[in-house]
A and B are shown apart, each in its own frame.
Chain A
Amino acid sequence: MNFAHLFLSTLPETVLEVAALLVLVVDLGFLRKTELKTRTSMATLIGVLGCVASLWAQIWVSGSKGVVEYGIDGTHDVLLFNLRWAGAAQAGILVLTAFTLLLLTRTAFTRHAGEYVAVVLMSATGGLLVSSAQDLLIIFIGLELLSLGLYILTAFAKKSGNSAEAALKYYLFGGMSAAFLLFGFSYLYGLSGSTNLDQIADAISKSGVIAASPLLYIALVSIAAGLGFKVAAVPFHLWAPDAYEGAPAPAAAFIASVSKVASFALLITITTAVLSPKWSLILVVLSTASMLVGNLAALAQVSVRRLLAYSAIAHAGYMLLGLAYLRVDGTVSWWDGAKAFGSANALLYYILTYGITTVGAFGVIGVVERTTGSDRMDAFLGLHKRNPLLAAVLLVLFLSLAGIPPLVGFWAKFNLFAAVLGVSAGVVPFALVALAVGMSAVSLYYYLQVLKRAYVMPPTDETPIRVDPVTMLVLLLIGASVVLLGCFPSVLQNWIAGFYPVL
């Protein structure tokens, strides 16, 4: 394997990066004198085309090999990139990025459309790297690329004080958590003598000394703190409500979806390497705290964005539960069926469907906000009269988040909980699943609070809300996919399972 191969295997990332630079060149080089509308459309167009090209490259790459190994000094090849199941996460990241970009059209939070799109694309590049990398250094670089982009995006509404405040909080928390993560990584390296997750896993499983070492505990706790911040797990969640509330709507959609997908893909990778009762215990603690705090705090929110932030925390809790009971071997499962759906797949299913639902939700919030100037619940009063289609999309998305069948959010939960019980049907996982199911019953209350305003309570203002065709089309597409993927759940399941070549 040589560097040309390495370049080839990171083709999707490269394409996306080139697209980002192209956006900057076109926007700053040729369109400076034209009006904002044209610049935004052009930048969006290039960005979306970049995502499509990258997706195409990604399909080609994962079809060609799936695993990238890289030999060091003639020793046996080590796994550098794992494109097997990560392919699903990467494809998801690219699709979600394209959707968030399309939601940008007609927003007026910035005059710097080119830079905005470029930062989104670079951040998404970081996401792609993070979700497939198997080496601590690449993971860390990818994560920083992803995060730095997110900080900038949060602050992108330069005239808004909230935006700046949220970005500063996000940045400070992020910096600290990156330090924790690096600290944990360094311990892992120190214990095992390698930065490669495969070799680390090898070292831990072979050496009882390492596995029993208290230093491993410190490493795992630090890593959990660093990644817990990325997925907004309690108690590392404090940035989330502010960032969700302060960031411009498309940026918030990006933070809530793409960054989550990448971080959970990374968590699956790391969990695969260091899976042990210790790690599971840490995840269970984070998961339980997130489910409880997220759902209960969401009950008290009046800002729909903050509500979504707390609901995101709760959803992270459910997913961490799936992660704590991860079983990665997708070919063999608890039914010994060839097409069985392992817990890693269930987790990917969850995060991808959650991502698409959240992007849609933020799309609706963005539209409402542009018209009413507020993201308070009362801004949604009478939405069914002001724009019936928009209200219908909101209904579908929020019911899906609450987990009402036959929408896709229900299948996500069902897959995940069934997978948890499938890995271990003891008392503890059972109690945790019962807690999760109970908590999602609680969550219906706050989702209904928003829907109640959209459908039930008398409107204060009945002027129709106009939505530009592109945004409406994207929202309808998202709404339709949430319904259709829910009615035919095996489509997405098979697609995700398809990324798992039989070993």
Chain B
Amino acid sequence: MLAWTIYLSFAGALAEALLPKGRAGLARGLALLIAIAGLGIAVVGFAADAGKGRITIVDVAWVPAMGVHYSLAADGISRVLVLLTGLAAVAGVLFSWNIELRTNEFFAFFLALIGGVYGVFLSFDLFLLFVFYEIAIVPKYFLIAIWGSTRREYAAMKLALYSFVGSAMVLVGLLAAYATSGSHSTGLDALAHAGLSVQFQMWAFPLTFVGFAILAGMWPFHTWAPTGHVAAPTAASMLLAGVVMKLGAYGCLRVAMSLFPHGMDAWGVSFIGIGSWRDVFAVLAVIGIIYGALVALVQTDFKFVIGYSSVSHMGFVLLGLMTLNQIGVTGAVLQMFSHGVLAGLLFAVVGRIVYERTHTRQLAELEGMHLSKRMPFAAWGFVIAGMASMGLPGFSGFVAELQVLAGSWNANPWWTAAAGVGIVIGVAYTWRALQKAFFSDVPHTHHVHGDEHGHAFAAITWPEVMGFGLLTAASLAIGIYPRILLDSIEPAVKALLAGGGQ
């Protein structure tokens, strides 16, 4: 049943592309309908199969000559991420309700991207996964280049090239694994059991891991992320940070780590405490956490703050993956979900609710606007989102980061210590942005454009309230009762670690 999320999204994209021009209302309605249907399927699929292990959805030969199967399946991790994608899609449509330029094309690219993302999370054939992964790249380019803002063409091209270089690395690893295994199959299970030699895994693992991690925003390959997020239209930023970066992390987990587990074995030599690829990537993840947070601390553009915070939060995901223990990897998956929801929330407040009314994202200009009084919904919305993002108990971020830290403590206490510093800086940059943008007591400035004599801002619209409510509710629900997701994630992670550790 979950497979229908893919087909519906692609059918919706096609239908949107064929819609007559100028019927913006129709295009929005259709997109919302498709997104809600996708979310509905994801929720039902999640609820129906909760607690069960992996469910095979469809498995037919696609390219018999090469042993490629059209193989869709869902384990607990997939179901959680499909649920996230459904949430992000609905929220994305709601927060792009104000798109007037080429509306039907916008939603066509949007739904094509969503379809590709659903496809990646449900693919259990390496080849099919790669195909969906690449399908997701092209719509991103057009979404940013056509509907974006600051330096959009530069950012879109940078994003497309980074993604494509990453996927080229993945493709090389994929071809190599395929040719070396000689198993005449590209199924993930078949390749995982192909008995690839340790020497091979030693170089295939970093190749594919980095290839995917580029899209997950791993330092130092993260630079596409802030520029891309800032340039993208709100819905695209929400999707980019919310689900596309998860594609990268998911690829790291599902492909790199489970196909080439011995790639993380110790080299036998150790240099300043780094003795394996696992250490290398964990250190890069920690650097990403701290670096992203520090850079977010000094940004003058509100959206860049959120952009760099994504780099920092994705660092937790990668760190969690590199702990290689049950609690850490579970935390990483939970963090994927949590960050997907929270990044969407933050970008929605900053990019849509605030920017569309003030027409500036410069913190210095926002300071003079006293937004807490004039736009209380936005201010309190950002307070909630910011609290959740900095890991306040009761929100999803807390549970996730706690598990990642607990896992990394078991693996290497130094990582935990460093990541803890990242959390502290996270509080600082969120606080700073919150204070400057909303609760500043700088005297009112009249020279700010678009804000002559403090006229009232446009009222908050119902799609904004609904989208905000949806994401906040999701984050709160997980924060208060994380077992909803953990019951699905934990067995899947257990199976993955056991299967990968053979």
A452 interface hit (Cβ, 8 Å) = yes
Contact call B146/A455, Cβ cutoff below 8 A: yes
Contact call B168/A438, Cβ cutoff below 8 A: yes
Contact call B168/A404, Cβ cutoff below 8 A: no
If A433-B175, A490-B65 touch, whether A404 touches B161 (CB-CB below 8 Å) is no
Contact call A448/B160, Cβ cutoff below 8 A: yes
B374 interface hit (Cβ, 8 Å) = no
CB contact list, B52-66 vs A, under 8 A:
62-66
Q: CA–CA, A399 to B139, complex, Å? A: 12
CB contact list, A412-460 vs B, under 8 A:
414-415, 417-418, 421-422, 425, 430, 433-434, 437-438, 440-441, 444-445, 448, 452, 455-457
Contact call A448/B172, Cβ cutoff below 8 A: no
Contact call A493/B63, Cβ cutoff below 8 A: yes
Give the segment of A72-80, A244-252, A332-340, A472-480 that binds chain B.
A332-340
Q: CA–CA, A441 to B163, complex, Å? A: 9
Q: How many residues of A contact B (CB 8 A)?
A: 40
Q: CA–CA, A455 to B135, complex, Å? A: 18
If A335-B184, A404-B138, A444-B160 touch, whether A456 touches B64 (CB-CB below 8 Å) is no
Contact call B65/A341, Cβ cutoff below 8 A: yes
B interface, by DSSP: helix, strand, loop or mixed?
helix
- Minimum CB distance partner of A443 in chain B: B164
- Minimum CB distance partner of A494 in chain B: B65
If A417-B175, A434-B172 touch, whether A404 touches B141 (CB-CB below 8 Å) is no
Partner of B135, one of A405, A440, A456: A405
A interface, by DSSP: helix, strand, loop or mixed?
helix
Q: CA–CA, A425 to B161, complex, Å? A: 28
CB contact list, A11-67 vs B, under 8 A:
none
For A414, the chain B residues whose CB sits under 8 A away are 171, 175
- Minimum CB distance partner of B144 in chain A: A456
- Minimum CB distance partner of A337 in chain B: B184
- Minimum CB distance partner of A334 in chain B: B182
If A339-B64, A341-B65, A441-B161 touch, whether A418 touches B178 (CB-CB below 8 Å) is yes
B180 interface hit (Cβ, 8 Å) = yes
Contact call A490/B179, Cβ cutoff below 8 A: no
Contact call A456/B153, Cβ cutoff below 8 A: yes
If A335-B182, A410-B134 touch, whether A418 touches B66 (CB-CB below 8 Å) is yes
Q: CA–CA, A121 to B212, complex, Å? A: 49
For A384, the chain B residues whose CB sits under 8 A away are 105
If A335-B184, A341-B66, A437-B168 touch, whether A455 touches B179 (CB-CB below 8 Å) is no
For A337, the chain B residues whose CB sits under 8 A away are 65, 184
Contact with A along B140-169 (1 / 0, CB 8 A): 011001100000010011001100110110
Contact with B along A271-282 (1 / 0, CB 8 A): 000000000000
B474 interface hit (Cβ, 8 Å) = no
For B137, the chain A residues whose CB sits under 8 A away are 404
Contact call A406/B138, Cβ cutoff below 8 A: no
For A452, the chain B residues whose CB sits under 8 A away are 145, 153, 157
If A422-B179, A452-B153, A456-B146 touch, whether A339 touches B161 (CB-CB below 8 Å) is no
Q: CA–CA, A356 to B34, complex, Å? A: 35
CB contact list, A463-490 vs B, under 8 A:
489-490
Contact call A339/B175, Cβ cutoff below 8 A: no
- Give the tally of cross-chain contacts (CB within 8 A): 90
Contact call B145/A456, Cβ cutoff below 8 A: yes
Q: CA–CA, A392 to B105, complex, Å? A: 12
Partner of B172, one of A341, A410, A437: A437
CB contact list, A317-348 vs B, under 8 A:
334-335, 337, 339-341
A152 interface hit (Cβ, 8 Å) = no
B477 interface hit (Cβ, 8 Å) = no
Q: What is the distance, in angstroms, from B186's C-beta to the closest C-beta of chain A?
A: 10
Contact call B175/A418, Cβ cutoff below 8 A: yes
B298 interface hit (Cβ, 8 Å) = no
Partner of A441, one of B135, B145, B153, B164: B164
Among B64, B179, B182, the most chain A Cβ lie within 10 Å of the Cβ of: B179
Among A392, A399, A415, A490, the most chain B Cβ lie within 10 Å of the Cβ of: A490
Contact call B168/A440, Cβ cutoff below 8 A: yes
For B47, the chain A residues whose CB sits under 8 A away are none
Q: CA–CA, A494 to B180, complex, Å? A: 24
Contact call A493/B142, Cβ cutoff below 8 A: no
Partner of A418, one of B153, B168, B179: B179
B176 interface hit (Cβ, 8 Å) = yes
A497 interface hit (Cβ, 8 Å) = yes
If A399-B138, A406-B135, A441-B161 touch, whether A421 touches B146 (CB-CB below 8 Å) is no
Among B142, B171, B176, the most chain A Cβ lie within 10 Å of the Cβ of: B171
- Minimum CB distance partner of B131 in chain A: A405
If A430-B176, A441-B165, A493-B65 touch, whether A448 touches B130 (CB-CB below 8 Å) is no
Contact with B along A177-215 (1 / 0, CB 8 A): 000000000000000000000000000000000000000
For B142, the chain A residues whose CB sits under 8 A away are 455-456
Q: What is the distance, in angstroms, from B296's C-beta to the closest C-beta of chain A?
A: 29
Contact call A425/B179, Cβ cutoff below 8 A: yes
Partner of B130, one of A392, A405, A417, A494: A405
Contact with A along B99-120 (1 / 0, CB 8 A): 0000001000000000000000
For B131, the chain A residues whose CB sits under 8 A away are 405-406, 410
Q: CA–CA, A422 to B176, complex, Å? A: 9
For B182, the chain A residues whose CB sits under 8 A away are 334-335
If A437-B171, A448-B141, A456-B145 touch, whether A421 touches B179 (CB-CB below 8 Å) is yes
Q: CA–CA, A271 to B196, complex, Å? A: 33
Q: CA–CA, A341 to B164, complex, Å? A: 27
- Minimum CB distance partner of B130 in chain A: A405
Q: What is the distance, in angstroms, from B153's C-beta to the closest C-beta of chain A?
A: 7
Contact call A444/B65, Cβ cutoff below 8 A: no
Q: CA–CA, A433 to B62, complex, Å? A: 24
Contact call A340/B65, Cβ cutoff below 8 A: yes
- Minimum CB distance partner of A423 in chain B: B179
For B164, the chain A residues whose CB sits under 8 A away are 441, 444
Contact with A along B37-79 (1 / 0, CB 8 A): 0000000000000000000000000111111000000000000
- Minimum CB distance partner of A452 in chain B: B145
For B65, the chain A residues whose CB sits under 8 A away are 337, 339-341, 490, 493-494, 497
Q: What is the distance, in angstroms, from B278's C-beta to the closest C-beta of chain A?
A: 24
For B64, the chain A residues whose CB sits under 8 A away are 339, 490
Q: What is the distance, in angstroms, from B176's C-beta to the closest C-beta of chain A?
A: 7
For A411, the chain B residues whose CB sits under 8 A away are 63
- Minimum CB distance partner of A444 in chain B: B164
Contact call A405/B63, Cβ cutoff below 8 A: no
Q: CA–CA, A440 to B169, complex, Å? A: 11
For A493, the chain B residues whose CB sits under 8 A away are 63, 65
Q: What is the distance, in angstroms, from A417's C-beta to the closest C-beta of chain B?
A: 6
- Minimum CB distance partner of A417 in chain B: B175
Q: CA–CA, A445 to B154, complex, Å? A: 12
Contact call A444/B63, Cβ cutoff below 8 A: no
Q: What is the distance, in angstroms, from B128's C-beta to the closest C-beta of chain A?
A: 9
For A438, the chain B residues whose CB sits under 8 A away are 165, 168
Q: CA–CA, A137 to B17, complex, Å? A: 54
Q: CA–CA, A250 to B479, complex, Å? A: 64
- Minimum CB distance partner of B203 in chain A: A430
Among A334, A425, A430, A448, the most chain B Cβ lie within 10 Å of the Cβ of: A448
- Minimum CB distance partner of A406 in chain B: B131
Contact call A448/B157, Cβ cutoff below 8 A: yes
A405-B130, A406-B135, A425-B179 given. 4 additional CB < 8 A pairs?
A: A334-B179, A437-B172, A448-B141, A456-B153
Q: List residues of chain B with CB under 8 Å of any chain A CB.
A: 17, 62-67, 105, 130-131, 134-135, 137-138, 141-142, 145-146, 153, 156-157, 160-161, 164-165, 167-168, 171-172, 175-176, 178-180, 182, 184
11 contacts between A and B (CB under 8 A): A339-B64, A340-B65, A341-B65, A405-B134, A410-B131, A433-B175, A434-B172, A441-B168, A444-B164, A448-B157, A490-B63
Closest 10 CB pairs of A and B: A421-B179, A405-B131, A441-B168, A456-B145, A341-B65, A335-B184, A441-B164, A437-B168, A444-B164, A441-B165
